[in-house]
Amino acid sequence: MATEKAKTTATAKPEAVAITKIYVGPTIPGVAIQNRVYSETPAGLSEAFEKVPEMQNLMIPISEYAEAERMIDNRKGYVYSAYLKALEYKENKGGN
């Protein structure tokens, strides 16, 4: 019986650890708030990701925040491109 228990413990899958991320895109009502930390992706943001996949680049680990803000401030890089897509999504969202 002790052998059985050891087997089960050895083959048990480790629990998934949620990674806390920050959304660095523009505030979009009902979707996400700029510079807000999320432990789970909000439903509205998940829907936006389906329509505009580039927006996923705006949900980043907190450790990458400074670099992402630098890209937005300098108007260069993949985060800035995603930011522009999010602004377009925000403008068009009212028309949907």
Is residue 5 a part of any domain in this protein? no
- Res 95 pLDDT > 50: no
Q: What CA–CA distance (Å, rounded) separates 58 from 46? A: 12
The pLDDT confidence band at residue 17, using thresholds 50, 70 and 90, is low
Q: Note down the domain range covering 38.
A: 18-93
Is residue 81 a part of any domain in this protein? yes
Question: Residue 15's pLDDT is what?
Answer: 54
Number of structural domains, the chain? 1
- Res 9 pLDDT > 60: no
Is residue 13 a part of any domain in this protein? no
- Res 14 pLDDT > 80: no
Is residue 12 a part of any domain in this protein? no
Is residue 65 a part of any domain in this protein? yes
Is residue 68 a part of any domain in this protein? yes
Is residue 8 a part of any domain in this protein? no
